[in-house]
Structure 1
Amino acid sequence: MAVSCVRGVSLRASRLLSTQLPRVVGLQTSSTATPRQLTRKHLGCWAKEAWGGRSCVWAAAAFSFLLASDEDAQGKEDEMILLLKKAKLSILRGQLEAASRFLHSAVALAHQSNNHQAIVYAYSQMANLAYIQGQMDHAEKLFKATMSFMLAGGMPQDDNAFIEMSLKLAAMYAEQNKAELAEHGFTFCLDTLEVKVQRLQETPEADRTGETSLLVMVTKIDGMCEDEQEVLRKDTRLLLGLCLDSRARYRASTLHFKQAVADYEKALSICRQEQGESHPQTLVLMSDLATILDMQGRHDDALALIRQAVDLGRSSEHSELHVLVGNMAGILLHTGQLDEAVRFYGEALRLAQQAGDQNAVGRIKEGLSQVKKRKDE
């Protein structure tokens, strides 16, 4: 499908994989640009905040298990815990070389002490780090090694932790334009999760496996009080939404807009049900879906959806309101409502400047210049 109808500037929020780095707002200007492009910078940030705080449950549980034994542990275990803490802090600070050294030392100690959870956690972080540094082949080997350790430890392939790691690989293949591997990865994740969601709805709580206990431990650490069945159900549905969101972005990047819309609509439905109408991620998905509808030439549908997102973003004081308002201005530009586009671009510019988002400022100014060009034609 042609995308020549898309002439303006669309703003997209960006975020990806799992070390809990801050979610970043990104902007695109190309007519074939798509929502929240996959970028190496954002591996380490798999939407823990955006998709409800349950992402990377296995990593959180593994690390929290280590922390819980910190006071009583001695010798190598104490040293290993300290190294993992230092590695995590170094990643958060962007000190990647230091983080790599700490992780290599930690994984050596983990193997010496035969601490399976520490091995899995350390390898996963090494994989994330290699990806961030652009070492794609090395990252792939480490992701696969982590998954092998998971399976060797008795983890079933439908465990949310294993599926999440599979999703990381699929997203990495998508970024590398390895279409067959990416599609296979996304299909595995989605098919497995859909079956699991159905099973969770039908299986009594008493028959559930040890995965529930892992999730309950995490919720207790986080101070939550949901019952076991609800914890696992919600975590699984949110992971399903995250998979749909990731595949939608990939499909949009390959110009398969119809399929991308279908995935976005399903992801948005899950997010609304589990997170609420005004949740930040709900609004981001509404904006992304509006962007794709706009690319399809469905400008009226796109405008109605982005207006709703902007209104909800105002009432909830969305941290990326300038992104939502800027997207609305771009869609108004495409519908020929140039004066309205200027008004909303102006508001988006003020909000972006207040937020200190210089990338957004530049893109919004480019949008304003496109409005001027259209007026002069």
Structure 2
Amino acid sequence: MAAAAAAAGRGSRGGGGPGRPGVPWASWEERRGGRRGRHHPPAEESQAQRHEGGAGRGRSDSARSPATVAPGGQQGRHRVHLQHGERAPRRLALQGEGGAVVWSFRTVCLFQMANVAFMQGQLDNAEKLYKASMSYLLAGDTKEDDNAILEMSLKLASIYASQKQHELAVAGYQFCILTLEEKIAKQKDLPEDVLPAEEKANTRLLLGMSLDSYARYLLNINQLPAAQQMYEKALQISNDVQGETHPQTVVLMNDLATVLDAQGHYDEAYSYVKRAAELAKETEHSEEHMVLNNLAAILMHKEDFLQAKQVYKEALKQAQQKGDVVSVQHIQEELAELAKRRKGSK
């Protein structure tokens, strides 16, 4: 328990995600909102939600967190149900790794209250509630490397990041990443009848989510080479597990391009964002106009002003069609910047 306590800070256990712990990355990606990278200023949402894929703009309400559905819903890997013979939900069983893990009704309530507090930006309250939830779980049979505990720890790390508690945030992120890497190494050769492939994939996706969240924090504090490394690992996992055309893979390509562009690696950034734009168009990605905006910005930095203008105009057209007022304003500002650069280059 000492490692989880250290990651949570102040001797307590850490906070969890806005949905039920253990939700695969696909579901997590669908609920995340907001702008990504320096070319897209974020909409109004808490910094912790941005670090950990919060409920910002850019996603439909139907794609929000499993926290918006009652326990026992069909979203996520875990299933909660009343134990046999109970008339009231005094104790709930959570189907997790290796069988049923019993959650007391109090723990479930604390966890859901923590979710609500987090979504409302009440981070101090969310921190306390997540810690209480984890304390109850760890006092029982739940192990420190259980995906539920690790996803809660990741949420707490994002809260510390938003509170500018750098040491605690980094400790939390690194605890999640290192623990998951060790867990994946141990599970690698386990046969299907011992650990199903789906369970292995879910753990890898949780590692991808942790790497992505840490990368965004590192980008925010301008540690660009480290952020690049985290994005590269997260992209590899998403590509391997979910495929190149998955929406999350496209987003990560775009994000990696952003951090490469910020370091002046324009050619490499262009190769990633160009592929992201191609995939976004092919798959009718909901954020295609944002990817195009990043593509145009990188073209501008490469001083390919004519092509940049054409891509900006397409991005603007799509943003207007989608009624994305924030993106429309941002793209118009970028077009104005492009005009200045073109004039200065003559």
Sort the TM-score into its range (normalised by shorter chain): 0.7 to 0.9
The letter of the residue matching 2:120 is Q
In structure 2, the CA distance between the partners of 1:205 and 1:278, relative to structure 1 (3 Å rule), is closer
CA distance in 2, matches of 1:29, 1:278: 24
Tell me what 1:198 maps to: 185
In structure 2, how many angstroms separate the alpha carbons of the residues matched to 1:193 and 1:56?
Answer: 22
Question: Relative to structure 1, is the Cα distance of residues 321 and 59 closer, same or farther in structure 2, using a 3 angstrom cutoff?
Answer: closer
Q: Does 1:172 align with 2:159?
A: yes
8 Å contact from structure 1 (residues 265, 289) kept in 2: yes
CA drift at 1:121 = 2.5
**What aligned pairs does 1:138-177 form with structure 2 within 5 A after superposition?**
138-177=125-164
Report runs of 4+ in structure 1 exceeding 6 Å deviation: 55-61
Q: Closer, same or farther in 2 for the Cα pair 1:30/1:340, shift >3 Å?
A: closer
Contact (CA 8 Å) 2:300, 2:308: kept in 1 or not? yes
Which position in structure 2 is the counterpart of 1:342?
309
Q: How does 1:43-122 map to 2 (within 5 A)?
A: 45=54, 63-64=72-73, 68-69=81-82, 74=87, 76-77=88-89, 116-122=103-109
Question: Deviations for 1:351-370, whole angstroms, at most 9, x for unmatched residues?
Answer: 11112211111111111111
Find out whether 1:288 has 2:255 as its counterpart.
yes
Q: Unmatched 5+ residue regions in structure 2?
A: 1-15, 20-27, 93-101
Q: Provide the identity percentage.
A: 39
The 5-angstrom pairing of residues 288-367 of structure 1 reads: 288-367=255-334
- TM-score, length-normalised on structure 2? 0.76
2:10 is matched with none
Aligned residue identity for 2:196: Q
**Does the 8 A contact of 2:17 with 2:151 survive in 1?**
no
Cα separation, partners in 2 of 1:28 and 1:284, compared to 1, 3 Å:
closer
Separation (CA, whole Å) in 1 of partners of 2:296 and 2:227 = 22
Question: 1:253-302, CA deviations, whole angstroms, 9 ceiling, x for partnerless residues?
Answer: 11111111111000000000000011100000000000000000000110
In the alignment, the residues of structure 2 paired with residue 30 and residue 291 of structure 1 have an alpha-carbon distance, to the nearest angstrom, of: 8
More relative contact order in 1 or in 2 (CA 8 Å, sep 6+)? 1
* 1:17/1:46 contact within 8 Å kept: no
Task: Report the secondary structure of 1:24's partner residue.
Answer: coil
Q: Decide whether the 8 Å contact of 1:248 with 1:264 is kept in 2.
A: yes
Q: CA–CA distance in 2 between the matches of 1:140 and 1:128?
A: 10
Q: 1:250 to 1:44 in 2, by over 3 A?
A: closer
Change (3 A) 1:155 1:60: farther
1:113-159 C-alpha deviation (Å, 9 max, x unpaired): xx834333221221122233333222211111011111123100000
Contact 1:56–1:164 under 8 Å retained in 2: no
Deviations 1:328-355 (A, max 9, x none): 0111111111111111110001111112
- Give the structure 1 partner of residue 18 of structure 2: 18
8 Å contact from structure 2 (residues 261, 269) kept in 1: yes
Q: Structure 1 residue 253 and structure 2 residue 217: aligned?
A: no
Task: Please tell me whether the aligned partners of residues 18 and 67 of structure 2 are also in contact (alpha carbons under 8 angstroms).
Answer: no
Say if 1:63 and 1:121, in contact at 8 Å, map to a contact too: no
Compute the RMSD of aligned alpha carbons.
Answer: 3.5
Q: In the aligned structure 2, how far is the partner of 1:56 from the partner of 1:235?
A: 16
User: Out of 41, 47, 53, which is 1:39 matched to?
Assistant: 47
1-structure distance, mates of 2:342, 2:18 = 45
Q: Could you say which residue in structure 2 is the equivalent of 1:130?
A: 117
> How far apart in 2 are the matches of 1:362 and 1:22?
24
More helix by share: 1
Distance 1:66 1:325 in 2: 39
Question: What SS is found at the alignment partner of 1:116?
Answer: strand
User: Per-residue deviation at 1:72?
Assistant: 7.4
